[in-house]
Structure 1
């Protein structure tokens, strides 16, 4: 909207002193070097101390379209600084754009952010309600608020925008500074000169100066540099970052940056087992398996499983929750205290935690490795290897294997496919008088829940350490018939994921896949065996070989 843009530019560049933005200056004045001045308008991605609060963000208040009374005085223009409760300053690292609109009856606080936890818009009866809602969304306490009042009453329903993007501009003098004979540069002179920001929308915020050798700086030089800073700040404030659309295929260029696929020395095939209880861990160890993963619903059991694995000289990775929400990093820390051999990471937050704490980790299927670009990105974050995505069909899986180093990938060849994951806990809601994990009595530890679908299939439901539930397909999926192709293409890491399997069922499944990986039996023979021993059969699922639609003719 050209009219709105014009109004915004006038608003942002007006001369009223009540609505200026603080600009921080950093000055380096050293004899023998050019004078340099850095000007910054700080966004929340560059935290700084201002008025006792960490972080700074441009905040714009829009008030209702009429005169207001403050302290017994009526104001119809700019609102005094003490007229309303100050909006808070978010201290979380959130890139946020916001808009406050008055529609004639109330206020609409619209938030636009890369953080999906920030909702889109909410209607409020008053500006105070909008302020309180913003404080709640950003978890701001009164001690963290920063007064940054910018309010205007206009003759039309107001619509102003603000941004938390930070801006940084630097200018330098043309010539090196010389030592002063009479009047060397001081911080007082800098403060006086840099506070003269004229009709710009800025005011001097903080000033940090490094002055060495008693340099002489003509006021004309300071004035010229100051004007250059203001002009550049205005340009940077009004123009969004330039984004250009490539005229060439982007994927082709991105793939050229990947390292070439190199043939690796032949390594023995390894089988890993994912277990969901201490009993299954014991069964796997008794069967001679030494590559284990644990995905328990009780976090305290990880310590016992790790002790069992260490006594058997086995490697054990523990699985993170599927979803990690803000404020839940404590779960990762508790899991790390058990000192496992590594994590099976299921989200980016867990990956960042492992990288920071230097914990080895494997990227699980939920990170959705479907192509070589994703694989390269996750390996660059420090993953030991990657689990191929469950979304791939047979042809797509083989194509992925041929496009990345085979040692990067682990393929799950037997599992109950997860159908959906939810925060609602059926165990607590149905089997307990409690309302949450603090008072539910943990019925998930003693009960097994299955959901029956319209055709009579009973799909198992499992809880995780965060009390979230995952529903699994009743019929296990087997990739036995594609294993030979994967081995020929260099894949050496395979995984079986158990669910509610009994010890006898586990031993049968392990025996089948051991023989398959050793070349003692074929994939089709394994398929027939699994089909016969499972009461609900077995499915090829997404890895079923593509059929010829003309074969029936």
Structure 2
């Protein structure tokens, strides 16, 4: 610790044994990995909680590395008992922390193993100090902040929370960027029943889309991947992140190769060590220092994985860490790995391709030709020969690679269809044999654990460093104390006492020989301190070695200690019973059991609201205006019509937006629809529903309703949120209709506080990336974009699934914080499940409008009202809904969407990862088990 800052840990990913070993060999302070269930990377190899976990933790702890298990998904009611068993296994085997999304899971873990550290996943969608405080109040000791925050915003959060988190703040510094806020993406759920909140992301953000502006297609040339960000690389920002108070720097990539893990870990290990050295010796630590990474390492990072786009965008960016840069983050030419740009095609001649070279290329390199259509088959292959302007064969080895000039590049016979290679095509090097060889060496143990010392000759660089202190006086026993870098200590003493030496006494040189290299222990000697040993004394070398063994064994025992204090009894029923008791003591349950079902409608325009106010039987209107303009007048109008008015709050609150709570309270609404834990925490701190604030002005906190974005997926999380002061709660969209009914039944009387959304356009993406700013302006943020969102309507049209069809048109709306929400084109309707939901205890039903024209509002309300009162059949309503047109005058249809009760995708049915496709990595995994 230097001043108020600390040296951040390097946290590396491991999708399997090869990746885990690569992380350790290259200097990771900690590794995060998933088990066979309940983690957000279902496609990774992962580890078995009983067969693998003991060996994994023993291997990590022997090397002085912490192990974090990811359980960063939402849990269903049917899985709670199985989850409890897994948590007991995690605690029993000495896992250092679990990374969690579900607040119900947090509550279970605290009940099962109170001493087990809990890290709040980025899937918790935490972007403010209030969100951090909410997580801390649940028992979370570290929070992984949203990737959409800038360094300045991170520093602001850290300053406000101070020492509130025992293990501080963690942020992502490298790897793939989700375009949607983590925990708020429902595209996979909407289009394939594969929930991103369940580890089954289908990567819909990496698909091509057409841009419709005011109903017309905007020509975009080769820009098609409008939601596909380049990857994150923040190595040059490490000093600023230290200054911001970040505790852990996280590398994304549990689906990546061992080579990727080895290289990224090594690069960030070196950067952190150098930045920390500069930080402690220079007052200019807050300035960017490009010397933190060499040009060679930069190229290697691009080579191992980068979604490069063109000559000016190499696929690696600072993301949002430097603030919004919408023209940089998403370029839209390519959604996948490209590697390094090495040239541009000048023409095809003599059975080869003439390339204007701009980057290193040589014989044996793998290249691909980029025509600007990555969705089609692309030509590429291994370079067979590089010929210069004099006809000489050049660049035959890595020492001879060419970097500029015009060269004829030839490939193997029939390797390319040369007719599909054209002038102007970009040439990307996707594989470099020399880099591959270097990375394989890193994976096998050629890395240096920078920051863990140099190590003695012959000792494994992957071994954990220890310091040994030797002390003793004449006539007393010699003592050896071994201490690792985590502060754990082992002690050993000789049987005999120190005697006066008859010749040369013990010194540092002789003690090093006696203590040895610690081979076979998983440890390596960093430092030997003999300052407390009396000179001119002697004890046999055999006794010194025995004392060393005793000290090392004690140290290793401490490193392998498992968690203590686990609860003996089953916890699920205890938690639920306690929550029922708490809720029963409140007033919210009184008189609600016999209520008739009722409908509320959510309006996003003033025109929709005015139509809804005409419906006499309608009791509640929810206002979800994207701009604050007109909201005050709309609230007054709804209240004047004799209806209850509910105002929706943002799904995301960043540091500069945290004071918006005052604006919402000033509206005087009957209820607020709370969409983030940060807002819930703030309103709770102020006294909760019913509290009256009277500092400068008298403000009253109204009734609080929780929305789907709080991600209540099981009875524990739902009950806990209701205990937080919510009068009503809409469960997450990850539950299908059957599971919604299960949840309602499991809550007993509490089921009447649940709200089912029975008509909506599912909000498939919620993004910091602004489509309007990027593609309808030349600006980078709201400061210079000209605000095209105020004068244009935008839809994203996906690819049609069948020929002779147009794709679906998904509306994009920008909110007051410039965040975009992409809404599914097809309306999702629960017409076939309303009766089941009523039987399960639901009494609150919601209809959500997006861009429906005003003339559709009353018919939609009337149709669902008739359904609830048995004046219409589900089939009749379904047929009518299919014909409704969107704002562009096109019918998009209706679907059951996330409500349909279908089998969930299994891990074995998902697309295999690179490591699963490469047999050598499986062999390495087996070898890692032997080497543990």
Relative to the length of structure 1, the TM-score reads: 0.59
Unaligned runs of 5+ residues in structure 2 are 1-60, 66-158, 171-235, 252-267, 289-450, 456-464, 467-483, 488-558, 689-700, 801-806, 886-890, 904-932
2:849 matched to 1:490? no
| 1:538–1:2 CA distance, 2 compared to 1 (3 A) | closer
Deviations 1:302-350 (A, max 9, x none): 2121121122122222222112233430233333333322221111001
Counterpart in the other structure of 2:862: 511
Aligned ranges 1:198-209 → 2 under 5 Å: none
2:640 to 311, 315, 319: 311
Aligned ranges 1:538-549 → 2 under 5 Å: 538-545=894-901
Deviations 1:180-223 (A, max 9, x none): xxxxxxxxxxxxxxxxxxxxxxxxxxxxxxxxxxxxxxxxxxxx
Question: CA–CA distance in 1 between the matches of 2:778 and 2:63?
Answer: 59
Q: Secondary structure at the match of 2:660?
A: helix
1:422 to 767, 778, 803: 767
1:344 to 673, 697, 701: 673
2:715 matched to 1:372? yes
| 1:333–1:89 CA distance, 2 compared to 1 (3 A) | closer
Following superposition, the deviation at residue 531 of structure 1 comes to: 1.9
8 Å Cα contact 2:240-2:285 kept in structure 1 = no
Question: CA–CA distance in 2 between the matches of 1:117 and 1:279?
Answer: 49
2:755 matched to 1:410? yes
1:500 to 832, 851, 870: 851
2:601 matched to 1:273? yes
Deviations 1:1-48 (A, max 9, x none): 67979xxxxxxxxxxxxxxxxxxxxxxxxxxxxxxxxxxxxxxxxxxx
Following superposition, the deviation at residue 514 of structure 1 comes to: 1.2
Following superposition, the deviation at residue 415 of structure 1 comes to: 0.3
Following superposition, the deviation at residue 366 of structure 1 comes to: 1.0
Following superposition, the deviation at residue 268 of structure 1 comes to: 2.5
Counterpart in the other structure of 1:96: 167
Following superposition, the deviation at residue 474 of structure 1 comes to: 0.1
8 Å Cα contact 1:107-1:127 kept in structure 2 = no
Aligned ranges 1:444-463 → 2 under 5 Å: 444-455=789-800, 456-463=807-814
Q: Larger relative contact order (C-alpha < 8 A, sep ≥ 6)?
A: 2
Counterpart in the other structure of 1:42: none
Q: Secondary structure at the match of 2:872?
A: coil
2:548 matched to 1:399? no
8 Å Cα contact 1:451-1:459 kept in structure 2 = yes
Deviations 1:248-298 (A, max 9, x none): 443244334342799954113221111111121112112333411111221
Q: Secondary structure at the match of 2:622?
A: strand
8 Å Cα contact 2:708-2:733 kept in structure 1 = yes
Counterpart in the other structure of 1:332: 661
| 1:347–1:118 CA distance, 2 compared to 1 (3 A) | farther
8 Å Cα contact 1:299-1:335 kept in structure 2 = no
Following superposition, the deviation at residue 526 of structure 1 comes to: 1.4
1:286 to 598, 614, 631: 614
Following superposition, the deviation at residue 363 of structure 1 comes to: 0.5
8 Å Cα contact 2:167-2:247 kept in structure 1 = no
Following superposition, the deviation at residue 160 of structure 1 comes to: 4.8
Following superposition, the deviation at residue 501 of structure 1 comes to: 0.2
Aligned ranges 1:39-50 → 2 under 5 Å: none
8 Å Cα contact 2:240-2:287 kept in structure 1 = no
| 1:130–1:245 CA distance, 2 compared to 1 (3 A) | farther
Counterpart in the other structure of 2:914: none
Counterpart in the other structure of 2:627: 298
Counterpart in the other structure of 1:255: 576
| 1:504–1:247 CA distance, 2 compared to 1 (3 A) | same
Q: Secondary structure at the match of 1:402?
A: helix
| 1:336–1:108 CA distance, 2 compared to 1 (3 A) | closer
| 1:374–1:98 CA distance, 2 compared to 1 (3 A) | closer
Question: CA–CA distance in 1 between the matches of 2:62 and 2:603?
Answer: 61
8 Å Cα contact 1:107-1:126 kept in structure 2 = no
Question: CA–CA distance in 1 between the matches of 2:607 and 2:287?
Answer: 45
Question: CA–CA distance in 1 between the matches of 2:636 and 2:713?
Answer: 35
Following superposition, the deviation at residue 425 of structure 1 comes to: 0.8
2:250 matched to 1:127? no
Q: Secondary structure at the match of 1:507?
A: helix
Question: CA–CA distance in 1 between the matches of 2:669 and 2:852?
Answer: 24
8 Å Cα contact 1:423-1:469 kept in structure 2 = yes
Question: CA–CA distance in 2 between the matches of 1:268 and 1:94?
Answer: 45
Following superposition, the deviation at residue 376 of structure 1 comes to: 1.1
Following superposition, the deviation at residue 134 of structure 1 comes to: 8.8
Question: CA–CA distance in 1 between the matches of 2:899 and 2:453?
Answer: 63
Q: Secondary structure at the match of 2:712?
A: coil
RMSD: 4.2
Deviations 1:351-383 (A, max 9, x none): 112223332211000111222111110011100
8 Å Cα contact 1:354-1:361 kept in structure 2 = no
Q: Secondary structure at the match of 2:867?
A: helix
Q: Secondary structure at the match of 2:664?
A: helix
Q: Secondary structure at the match of 1:460?
A: strand
Relative to the length of structure 2, the TM-score reads: 0.36
2:565 matched to 1:244? yes
Question: CA–CA distance in 1 between the matches of 2:619 and 2:286?
Answer: 51
1:354 to 683, 696, 699: 683
Question: CA–CA distance in 2 between the matches of 1:462 and 1:540?
Answer: 23
8 Å Cα contact 1:391-1:542 kept in structure 2 = yes
8 Å Cα contact 1:346-1:365 kept in structure 2 = yes
Stretch moving more, 450-459 or 431-440: 431-440
2:768 matched to 1:433? no
8 Å Cα contact 1:365-1:389 kept in structure 2 = yes
Following superposition, the deviation at residue 523 of structure 1 comes to: 2.0
8 Å Cα contact 2:718-2:731 kept in structure 1 = no
| 1:479–1:97 CA distance, 2 compared to 1 (3 A) | closer
What is the aligned length? 371
Aligned ranges 1:224-239 → 2 under 5 Å: none
Question: CA–CA distance in 2 between the matches of 1:2 and 1:390?
Answer: 43
| 1:94–1:265 CA distance, 2 compared to 1 (3 A) | closer
| 1:506–1:127 CA distance, 2 compared to 1 (3 A) | same
